């Protein structure tokens, strides 16, 4: 710009004021354009870096699926009743952290079972993680309707067998995620833990009803859920622990009406066997301690 002004002064008389004004304007526009170009180029470089990192992550992250799993063909109607069996199951996070030891348990189809035990060391959540195949069973097997779930592709186990409300739910905004039912789905803003758990349950109920009135769910997903087997097993990890007693009672009523009375197997983890989750004469209360079954009260 300075050289333009110098030129205009040196060759005075050859240019008009408006020409100089126009030239100055062009210089200013060119300046802004160059600045935008540099910004866009920098953004492009950052985005290319992100893509490269994502591709690396995808290429280098080992898949959780094991080759033998894909060969296991299960009947389309599996699971048809919801019988869950733990056959001498041991689960460990690592050799020094054995979380479940020799668990033998049979949850009869349609039964409501409550798993309780001390905070932090009983292995309650581990039991659910093993059912969802997020942890591998070290010895023997977990069977659903007689089929060893370690032989079935994990995605199939999660989609076909379980509706899960996890202990520490998280929400992926704008993600219609419900396939594995591990993650609450929502396109709502931030929800608190209790709200997310209620939301997950609400979606679970909708999925059982073919997602008739659900909004924000992709068509493909709706098709997937509509095709899903109706005999899903409900897994609840402290699903009502962050709710007030009134809301807990309401949720308990909904669970009884929508799941227990409709014959779905329910496995609920709780610290307090409150009125809401009382098995009311039917079902089973399992007491875990240090990864072992301490006591089973079967009132079926
Ligand atoms: N990621 C992990 N790595 C190693 N050990 C773990 C891991 N997660 C849990 N554990 C251990 O496994 C045991 C059982 O943990 P788990 O989370 O199943 O307990 P919990 O009964 O669900 O407890 P809480 O009532 O606090 O939810 C504990 O001793 C815990 O320290
Ligand atoms: Mg837990």
> pLDDT, tens digit, for every residue of 39-78?
999 999 999 999 999 999 999 988 887 777 766 778 888 8
Q: Which residue has the higher pLDDT, 9 or 213?
A: 9
Residue 256 has what pLDDT? 79
Return the H-helix or E-strand segment holding 140: strand 137-144
| Ligand closest in space to the Cα of 99 | 1
Residue 191 has what pLDDT? 54
- Residue pair 193/42 in contact by the 8 Å Cβ criterion: no
- Residue pair 117/288 in contact by the 8 Å Cβ criterion: yes
| Ligand closest in space to the Cα of 287 | 1
Whether 38 and 186 map to the same domain: the answer is no
How many domains would you assign to the chain? Answer: 2
Best residue among 90, 94, 95, 97 to mutate for probing ligand 1's pocket (most ligand atoms within 8 Å of CB) is 97
Whether 23 and 123 map to the same domain: the answer is no
CA of 49 to the centre of ligand 2 (A): 38
Residue 175 has what pLDDT? 45
**Looking at residues 99-112, what average pLDDT do you find?**
91
CA of 130 to the centre of ligand 2 (A): 13
Whether 25 and 151 map to the same domain: the answer is no
What stretches of 88-192 show up as alpha helix (H) in DSSP?
124-131, 154-161
Instruction: Give the position, in ligand 1's atom list, of the atom nearest the Cα of 291.
Output: 14
Whether 83 and 44 map to the same domain: the answer is no
pLDDT at residue 279 is higher than 80: no
> pLDDT, tens digit, for every residue of 196-246?
666 666 666 655 554 444 444 445 444 444 444 456 788 888 877 777 777
**Looking at residues 239-259, what average pLDDT do you find?**
76
Q: Which domain holds residue 39?
A: 2-60
Whether 121 and 191 map to the same domain: the answer is yes
Q: Closest by alpha carbon to 173, among 153, 144, 148, 199? A: 199
CA of 99 to the centre of ligand 1 (A): 7
Ligand 1, atom 11: closest residue by C-alpha: 99
State the Cα torsion 18-20-23-29 to the nearest 10°.
Answer: -80
Query: What is the rounded distance in angstroms from the CA atom of residue 290 to the CA atom of residue 46?
Result: 49
CA of 151 to the centre of ligand 2 (A): 26
Q: Given strand 97-107, what is the order of strands in its sheet?
A: 97-107, 84-94, 137-144, 147-148
Whether 180 and 248 map to the same domain: the answer is yes
Residue 211 has what pLDDT? 43
Measure CA 238 to chain center: 16
pLDDT at residue 179 is higher than 50: no
Pocket of ligand 1 (CB under 6 A): 93, 97, 99, 117, 119-126, 167
- The residue among 17, 36, 60 that closes a domain is 60
Average pLDDT, the chain: 77
């Amino acid at each position: 710009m300075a050289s333009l002004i110098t030129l205009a002064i040196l060759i005075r008389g050859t240019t008009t004021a408006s020409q100089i004004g126009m030239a100055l304007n062009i210089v200013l526009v060119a300046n802004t354009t160059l600045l935008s170009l540099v910004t866009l180029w920098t953004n492009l470089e950052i985005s290319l870096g992100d893509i490269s990192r994502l591709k690396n992550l995808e290429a280098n992250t080992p898949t959780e699926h094991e080759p033998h799993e894909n060969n296991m063909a299960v009947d389309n109607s599996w699971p048809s009743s919801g019988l869950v069996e733990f056959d001498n199951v041991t689960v460990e996070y690592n050799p020094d952290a054995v979380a479940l030891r020799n668990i033998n348990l049979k949850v009869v189809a349609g039964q409501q079972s409550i798993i309780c035990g001390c905070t932090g060391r009983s292995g309650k959540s581990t039991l659910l993680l093993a059912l969802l195949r997020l942890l591998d069973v070290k010895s023997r097997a977990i069977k659903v309707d007689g089929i060893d779930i370690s032989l079935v592709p994990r995605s199939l186990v999660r989609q076909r067998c379980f509706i899960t409300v996890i202990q520490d739910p998280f929400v992926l905004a704008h993600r219609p995620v419900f396939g594995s039912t591990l993650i609450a789905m929502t396109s709502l803003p931030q929800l608190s833990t209790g709200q997310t758990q209620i939301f997950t349950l609400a979606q679970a109920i909708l999925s059982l009803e073919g997602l008739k009135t659900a909004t924000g769910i992709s068509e493909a997903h709706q098709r997937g859920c509509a095709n899903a087997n109706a005999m899903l097993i409900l897994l609840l990890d402290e699903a009502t622990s962050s709710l007030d007693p009134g809301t807990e009672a309401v949720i308990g009523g909904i669970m009884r009406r929508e799941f227990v009375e409709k014959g779905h197997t329910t496995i609920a983890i709780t610290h307090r066997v409150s009125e809401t989750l009382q098995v009311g004469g039917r079902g089973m209360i399992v007491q875990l301690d240090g990864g072992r079954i301490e006591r089973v009260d079967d009132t079926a």
